[in-house]
Amino acid sequence: MKAFERALRRSALPMAYSQGFNPHPLMVFGLPLSVGVTSEAEYADFELLEKVNPREFAERLNMQLPRGLKVTAAAEKLTRNNIMATVSMASYAVLVGSPRDTDLSSVRKNIKELLAKSEIMVQKETKKGLKEVNIRPMIHRLEALEVPCGEFKDSMSYGKSKDGMKDTCTNDFIINYARRLANESAMLKDETAMPKEESAIQKDEAALPKEKDVPDLNDQNLFCLSMLLDAGSGSNLKPELLFEALKAGGGILTKLLKIHRTGLFVVHKGQIKDPLDPAVLKM
Amino acid sequence: MPLRISDEILGSVEKPSRYIGNEWNSVHKDPRSVDIRFAFCFPDVYEIGMSHLGMKILYHLLNERDDTFCERVFAPWTDMEAKMRENSIPLFALETHDPVRDFDFMGFTLQYEMSYTNIVNMLDLAGVPILSSERTGDHPFVCAGGPCAYNPEPLADIMDFFMMGEGEEIINEVMDVYVEWKKSGKSRDEFLNSIVKIEGVYVPRFYDVKYNDDHTIKSVTPISTEYPKKIRKRIIKDLDSTYFPDKVIVPFTDIVHDRVMLELFRGCIRGCRFCQAGYIYRPVRERSVDRLLEYARKLEESTGYEEISLTSLSTSDYTGLESLTGSLIDEMEKKKVNLSLPSLRIDSFSLDLMEKAQKVRKSGLTFAPEAGTQRLRNVINKGVTEEDLMKSVTLAFNGGWSGVKLYFMLGLPTETDEDVAAIADLGHKVVDVYMSVPREKRGKGLNVTISTSSFVPKPFTPFQWEAQDDVETLKRKQALLKEKIKSKYIKYNWHDPELSFLEAVFARGDRRVGKVLIKAWEKGCKFDSWGDHFRFDAWMEAFKECSVNPHFYANRKRPFDEVFPWDHIDVGVSRNFLKRENEKAYRGETTQNCRVNCSGCGAAVFGGGICIE
The predicted complex's ipTM stands at 0.78
Closest CA to B573 of B519, B611, B533: B611
- Label residue A62 by pLDDT band (50, 70, 90): very high
Q: Which residues contact A236 (CB under 8 A, 6 or more apart)?
A: A138, A230
Q: Please tell me the distance in Å from A11's CA to the nearest CA on chain B.
A: 8
The predicted structure's pLDDT at residue A209: 39
CB spacing of B86 vs A211 below 8 angstroms? yes
- Neighboring chain B residues of A10 at a CB cutoff of 8 Å: 301-304
Average pLDDT over residues B451-478: 97
Q: Which residues contact A277 (CB under 8 A, 6 or more apart)?
A: A266, A268
The predicted structure's pLDDT at residue B363: 53
Cα torsion B226, B228, B233, B238 to 10°: value is -60
d(CA B42, CA B36): 19
Q: Is the dihedral of CA B592, B593, B598, B601 positive or negative?
A: positive
Task: List residues of B whose CB lies inside 8 A of any A CB.
Answer: 1, 4, 6-12, 16, 22-24, 81-83, 85-88, 124, 127, 130, 250, 252, 300-306, 335-337, 361-362, 522, 524
The predicted structure's pLDDT at residue A277: 87
Closest CA to B455 of B509, B406, B495: B495
Average pLDDT over residues B208-217: 96
Is A197 exposed, middle or buried, given 0-12, 13-18 or 19+ CB atoms closer than 10 A? exposed
d(CA A271, CA B59): 53
Task: Please say if the pLDDT value at position B547 is more than 80.
Answer: yes
- Label residue A255 by pLDDT band (50, 70, 90): confident
Could you give the C-alpha distances from A87 to A33, A37, A231, A237, A267, in angstroms and in order? 14, 18, 7, 13, 8
Give backbone dihedrals phi and psi of A145, rounded to 5 degrees, phi first. -135, 155
The predicted structure's pLDDT at residue A254: 82
Average per-residue pLDDT in chain A? Answer: 81
Task: Please say if the pLDDT value at position B66 is more than 60.
Answer: yes
Closest CA to B493 of B406, B390, B415: B406
The predicted structure's pLDDT at residue B347: 43
Closest CA to B131 of B122, B120, B140: B120
**Greater pLDDT, A251 or B138:** B138
**Which of A1, A9, A34 best tests the B interface by mutation, with the highest count of B CBs <10 A?**
A9
The beta-carbon neighbor of A10 closest among B88, B130, B301 is: B301
- Over residues A192-209, the pLDDT tens digits come to 554 444 333 333 344 443
The predicted structure's pLDDT at residue A95: 94
The predicted structure's pLDDT at residue B192: 97
Give B390-395 contacts, CB < 8 A, sequence gap 24+: B390/B429, B390/B430, B390/B433, B392/B346, B392/B349, B392/B367, B393/B367, B393/B430, B393/B433, B393/B434, B394/B433, B394/B437, B395/B349, B395/B351, B395/B354
Neighbours of B199 (CB within 10 A): 14
- Label residue B518 by pLDDT band (50, 70, 90): very high
Q: Is A212 on the interface with B (CB under 8 A)?
A: yes
Closest CA to B507 of B75, B110, B42: B110
Please report, rounded to a whole number, the percentage of residues in chain A having pLDDT higher than 90.
36
The predicted structure's pLDDT at residue A32: 82
- Over residues B362-413, the pLDDT tens digits come to 556 778 899 999 999 999 999 888 998 898 888 888 877 788 889 999 999 9
Closest CA to B356 of B334, B328, B335: B328
Q: How many residues does chain A have?
A: 283
d(CA B310, CA B337): 13
Lowest model confidence (mean pLDDT) among B171-175, B207-211, B227-231, B313-317: B313-317
Q: Residue B609: left (phi > 0), alpha (psi -120 to 50), or beta?
A: left
Please report, rounded to a whole number, the percentage of residues in chain B having pLDDT higher than 90.
80
Q: Please tell me the distance in Å from A92's CA to the nearest CA on chain B.
A: 18
d(CA B278, CA B503): 19
CB spacing of B11 vs A35 below 8 angstroms? yes
- Over residues B423-438, the pLDDT tens digits come to 999 999 999 999 999 8
Give backbone dihedrals phi and psi of A38, rounded to 5 degrees, phi first. -100, 170
Question: Angle B417-436/B471-484 helices, nearest 10 degrees?
Answer: 30
The predicted structure's pLDDT at residue A213: 58
Task: Please say if the pLDDT value at position B599 is more than 60.
Answer: yes
- 3-class SS of residue B548: coil
Average per-residue pLDDT in chain B? Answer: 92
The predicted structure's pLDDT at residue A24: 83
Contact A251, A129 (CB under 8 A): no
d(CA B22, CA B173): 29
**Which of B24, B83, B298, B301 best tests the A interface by mutation, with the highest count of A CBs <10 A?**
B24
Average pLDDT over residues B10-14: 90
Share in percent of chain B as helix, strand, coil (round to 5): 40, 15, 45
Could you give the C-alpha distances from B222 to B151, B163, B225, B229, in angstroms and in order? 16, 17, 7, 6
Q: Is the dihedral of CA B81, B85, B87, B88 positive or negative?
A: positive
CB spacing of B10 vs A204 below 8 angstroms? no
Q: Please tell me the distance in Å from B491's CA to the nearest CA on chain A.
A: 26
DSSP for B311-332, please give it.
ESS-GGG-TTHHHHHHHHHHHH
- Over residues B24-39, the pLDDT tens digits come to 999 999 999 999 999 9
Contact B553, B504 (CB under 8 A): yes
The predicted structure's pLDDT at residue B150: 97
- Label residue B329 by pLDDT band (50, 70, 90): confident
Average pLDDT over residues A173-178: 90
pTM above 0.80, yes or no: yes
The predicted structure's pLDDT at residue A47: 93
Strand extents, DSSP E, B7-101: 36-42, 68-74
- Label residue B3 by pLDDT band (50, 70, 90): low
DSSP for chain A, please give it.
-HHHHHHHHHHT--B-B--SSS--B-EEESSPPPTT-EES---EEE-BSS---HHHHHHHHHHHSPTT----------S---HHHHEEEEEEEEEEEEETT--HHHHHHHHHHHHH-S--EEEEEETTEEEEEE-GGGEEEEEEEE---GGGGTT---S--TT----B---HHHHHHHHHHHHHHHHHHHHHTSPPPP----HHHHHS-----S--GGGEEEEEEEEEEE-SSS----HHHHHHHHHHHHS---EEEEEEEEEEEEEETTEEE-TTSHHHHT-
Q: Please tell me the distance in Å from B346's CA to the nearest CA on chain A.
A: 25
Task: Please say if the pLDDT value at position B358 is more than 60.
Answer: no
The predicted structure's pLDDT at residue A161: 41
d(CA A161, CA A167): 7
d(CA A123, CA A131): 5
* B555-588 b/e (C-beta count within 10 Å ≥ 16 → b): bbeeeeeebbbbebbbbbbeeebbebbbebbeee
Average pLDDT over residues A16-29: 83
Closest CA to B356 of B340, B343, B368: B340
Neighbours of A207 (CB within 10 A): 8
- 3-class SS of residue B584: helix
The predicted structure's pLDDT at residue B256: 83
Q: Which residue of A has its CA nearest to B297?
A: A10
Greatest mean pLDDT among A26-30, B155-159, B248-252 lies in B155-159
- Over residues A226-235, the pLDDT tens digits come to 999 999 888 8
Q: Which residue of A has its CA nearest to B124?
A: A200
Lowest model confidence (mean pLDDT) among A245-259, B86-100, B480-494: A245-259
Task: Please say if the pLDDT value at position B191 is more than 90.
Answer: yes
Contact B478, B410 (CB under 8 A): yes
Lowest model confidence (mean pLDDT) among A101-105, A238-242, B16-20, B457-461: A101-105
Report the DSSP pairing between strands A121-126 and A129-134.
Answer: antiparallel
The predicted structure's pLDDT at residue A188: 67
Contact A78, A281 (CB under 8 A): yes
d(CA B516, CA B364): 41
Average pLDDT over residues B559-586: 97
Q: Which residue of B has its CA nearest to A187?
A: B4
Average pLDDT over residues A8-35: 85
The predicted structure's pLDDT at residue B613: 77
In what helix (H) or strand (E) does residue B537 lie, and over which residues does it extend?
helix B536-545
- Neighboring chain B residues of A97 at a CB cutoff of 8 Å: none
Q: Is A5 on the interface with B (CB under 8 A)?
A: yes
Residues 9..68 of A with a Cβ closer than 8 Å to B: which?
Answer: 9-11, 17, 21-24, 35-36, 64, 66-68
Task: Please say if the pLDDT value at position A23 is more than 80.
Answer: no
The predicted structure's pLDDT at residue B360: 46
The predicted structure's pLDDT at residue A166: 73
- 3-class SS of residue B308: strand
DSSP for B515-534, please give it.
HHHHHHHHTT---TTSGGG-
Q: How many residues does chain B have?
A: 613
Closest CA to A254 of A229, A228, A226, A221: A221
DSSP B165: B
d(CA A72, CA A77): 16
Greatest mean pLDDT among A192-201, B53-62, B311-320 lies in B53-62
Contact B92, B33 (CB under 8 A): no
- Over residues B67-120, the pLDDT tens digits come to 999 999 999 999 999 999 999 999 999 999 999 999 999 999 999 999 999 999
- Neighboring chain B residues of A184 at a CB cutoff of 8 Å: 4, 6
